[in-house]
Copies of this chain bind each other. A is one copy, B any other.
Amino acid sequence: MPSSHSALPSPGPVRLGPDARAALRPAVAGIDAGFWHTRREVNARTSLPQGPGLLESAGNLHNLRLAAGTAEGEFRGAYPFVDTDVYKWLEAASWQLARGREETLAAHVDRIAGLVAAAQQPDGYLNTWFQLRENGKRYEDLRWGHELYCAGHLIQAAVAHHRTTGRTELLNVAVKFADHIDSVFGPPGSGRPIDGIDGHPEIETALVELYRETGERRYLDLAGYFVDRHGHGLLGGEAYCQDRVPLREATTVEGHAVRQLYLLAAAADLATETGDTELGAAAERLWHAMTTTKTHITGGLGAHHDREDFGDPYELPNERAYCETCAAIASVQWSWRMALLTGEARYSDLVERTLYNGFLAGVSLDGERWLYVNPLQVRDGHTDPGGDQSARRTRWFRCACCPPNAMRLLASLEHYLATSDEGGLQIHQYVSGRYAGGSYTVRAETGYPWHGSIALTVEESPAGRPWTLSLRIPQWCQEFRVRCGERTYDQGDAPVTDGWLRLTRAWEPGDRVLLELGLEPRLTAADPRVDAVRASLAIERGPLVYCVEQADHPGGGLDDIVLDPSRPLAVKHRPDLLGGVTTVVAAGRRRHIPDAGWWPYTSAPAPQGGEPVELMAVPYYAWANRVDGSMRVWLPTC
């Protein structure tokens, strides 16, 4: 199989094809210390190893055995997509195996991949729900059946397994299923019996990757067919299913957030592989519409619990933010593909914000519990609904899409951090480790995001040929300084274009660059059309969004506090707290609200004054790891 990067470590989730029209090509960052290393170790040591047991007790593996005829009993699970929990775990474990042979994990992967293979039907079809519960009916309920969605996750798992282990057992299963799908689905006149799409996009981006892995062009064509058949009413025309309007004509993101985002990841893939500029332009347009009007400050996406969908422009509620963990993951996947396609730094700005906030909040510090929805507020007196939509961390969900999805992103995170092109190496995200792309290798040491210094050392460089080391200056960054050889630049004179600080020279091994990003804490306001946060401010520091939690404010709730924005913010690193976090303390008051009788609406002047109170803020990603209680990202100023 062709690859221009055959000398590099095994590629990650996105491996560009030989004809790809990408501005940038993925590079790898071997993370070996610091913030994300810690999170990945928790993933490797706790979350991933617990997967097989959870999949067993939830019934997912049992269903595969039933389908294979090697067990007896009833189908277990409430959804037609329960197989994907297995596939996403297999994908996550496969990425993990790339980091070194782990015998126990490898044995689980072999065993579970074997269960998957055994459950496949002779013609390639595989979906335990339909095989076992629907009497073998196929493709009769494309709106809700998730059969192609499941196939997509199987394909992604198989590609990961093949890429990291070189093994073909799972890839053969995926290819057989993909060939089956290709024999069934196609446009009128293609000779295929069904002109249809899946209500939940996912197969599309998976098929592009299968094309990239196998070189088989049919899969790319099938992906393009599926993407373009969305929006033509084949499923009834609902936005929920991404069927109201074709992507090429859409003006904003809409419907079920995860469905929209997976579809857009495929659009970016297709634009990259085929040079389809119209599709690329549509993806850029929709990304802009999303970030300007439908994205929470955490990078979280999805405004409605009901139907899990995007809301209207600027409809960004706090306590009812949906912000599904899977939507954050899908957003990273899409934005990363946009970064590769266009080379623009803003896509990685959103990736950074999402990783550190909207995504990571979904994973508990101990790696054992999860949030499906990621609200920006939990009220005093909150009555928790329990279940999947709980604001309390949960061991596993009835619809367990998020946990293994988070595992696969964490296990493959080194592939979302850097790129290369003919002119050099681009560092998108700052970690301690070794960035390697093309013929360039750079070593980084940093205490980011707690500290703003990133020390970079060139390790490998083509001899005597100048190239450009590009460093992303984050969108949130107001002040920075960079020392490169004899020169020191700051935000006033540094060679920054569209978010990229570009340092060009004939680098030699041992050359050093010191980037210092200013991490002064800041108070952030929203566009005034975001009604939900009017006259409120959020605390941020570096890439981190902060929140206040009940646990740090004993003796009262959080719904009566008021921030005083005129007072300075104080920063304190607390190694003892929440695995080690930098806290930000703001001044405020706890207002005294007089008893207004039975009706809380009045023409009387608002109550002023109140007790002074220190508002201690912790990073949002770390919330809900102590006692249950209220929480706020946005702090009222009146």
Q: How far is the CB of A132 from chain B (nearest CB, A)?
A: 24
Instruction: Write out, one digit per residue, whether chain A residues 233-256 have a CB within 8 A of any chain B CB (1) or not (0).
Output: 000000100000000000010100
Contact of A600 with B382 in the complex, beta carbons under 8 Å: no
Q: Which of A19-27, A51-59, A82-90, A529-537 contacts B (4 or more CB under 8 A)?
A: A529-537
Partner of A535 from the list B288, B307, B314, B535 (CB cut-off 8 Å) is: B535
Are A600 and B319 interface neighbours, CB within 8 A?
Answer: no
Per-residue 0/1 for A610-638: is the Cβ within 8 Å of any B Cβ (1 yes, 0 no)? Answer: 00000000000000000000000010101
Chain B min CB distance to A635 (Å): 11
Q: From A605, which residue of chain B is reached at the shortest CB distance?
A: B525
- Whether A304 is near chain B, meaning CB under 8 Å from some CB there, is yes
A306 partner residues in chain B, CB cutoff 8 A? 304-306, 389
Among A290-298, A431-439, A454-462, the stretch in contact with B: A290-298
Query: Do A601 and B524 touch across chains, with their CB atoms under 8 A apart?
Result: yes
Contacts of A115 in B (CB 8 A): none
A312-B379, A528-B606, A529-B559 as given contacts; A600 in contact with B292, CB under 8 Å: yes
- Whether A535 contacts B320 in the complex (CB less than 8 A), given A383-B239, A526-B600, A593-B529, comes out as no
Q: Are B346 and A291 in contact (CB under 8 A)?
A: no
Asked whether A606 and B525 contact (CB < 8 A) given A306-B305, A311-B319, the answer is yes
Set B315, B523, B596, B602: member contacting A379, Cβ < 8 A:
B315
B523 touches A603 (CB 8 A): yes
A486 CB to nearest chain B CB (Å): 33
Please give me the residue from chain B that is nearest to A244 by CB atom. B383
Q: Is the interface of A mostly helix, strand, loop or mixed?
A: loop
A592 to chain B, nearest CB (A): 11
Q: Is A560 an interface residue (CB 8 A)?
A: yes
The answer to whether B598 touches A346 (Cβ under 8 A) is yes
Q: Is A479 an interface residue (CB 8 A)?
A: no
- Considering the complex, which residues of chain A in the window 373-410 have a beta carbon less than 8 Å from any beta carbon of chain B? 377, 379-383, 385, 389
- Give the residues in chain B near A478, CB-CB below 8 Å: 603
Q: In the bound complex, how far is the Cα of B603 from the Cα of A478, in angstroms?
A: 10
Contact of A297 with B601 in the complex, beta carbons under 8 Å: yes
A315 to B379 CA separation, bound complex (whole angstroms): 8
**Chain B minimum-CB-distance residue to A377:** B531
Chain B residue, CB-CB nearest to A316:
B600
**A609 to B: closest C-beta gap in Å:** 12
Give the most central of A475, A531, A559, A591: most B CB within 10 Å. Answer: A531
Check: A556 CB closer than 8 A to any chain B CB: no
B residues in contact with A351, CB < 8 Å: none
- The reply to whether B318 and A527 contact each other, CB–CB distance below 8 Å, is no
Does A538 lie at the interface of the complex (its beta carbon under 8 Å from any beta carbon of B)? yes
Task: Select one of B291, B304, B636 contacting A534, CB under 8 A.
Answer: B636
Q: Are A603 and B522 in touch, CB under 8 angstroms? A: yes
Residues of B contacting A598 with CB < 8 Å? Answer: 287-288, 291-292, 346
Within 8 Å CB of A526, what residues of B?
600-601
Contact with B along A338-369 (1 / 0, CB 8 A): 00000000100100000000000000000000
- Are A320 and B318 in contact, CB atoms less than 8 angstroms apart? no
Q: Does A317 contact B (CB under 8 A)?
A: yes
- Identify the A interface with B (CB < 8 A): 239, 252, 254, 287-288, 291-293, 295, 297, 304-307, 311-315, 317-320, 346, 349, 377, 379-383, 385, 389, 475, 478, 522-532, 534-536, 538, 559-560, 591, 593, 596, 598-604, 606-607, 634, 636, 638
Given contacts A528-B593, A530-B600, 12 further A-B contacts (CB under 8 A): A239-B383, A291-B598, A304-B306, A312-B319, A313-B379, A313-B380, A478-B603, A531-B536, A531-B634, A534-B536, A534-B638, A535-B535
Cβ contacts A to B, 22 pairs, < 8 Å:
A252-B381, A287-B598, A291-B599, A292-B596, A293-B600, A297-B601, A305-B305, A306-B306, A306-B389, A307-B385, A311-B319, A315-B379, A318-B531, A377-B531, A522-B603, A524-B603, A527-B601, A529-B593, A530-B600, A531-B636, A534-B535, A535-B535
Which 7 A-B pairs have CB atoms at the shortest separation, nearest pair first? Answer: A527-B600, A535-B535, A305-B306, A312-B379, A306-B306, A313-B381, A291-B598
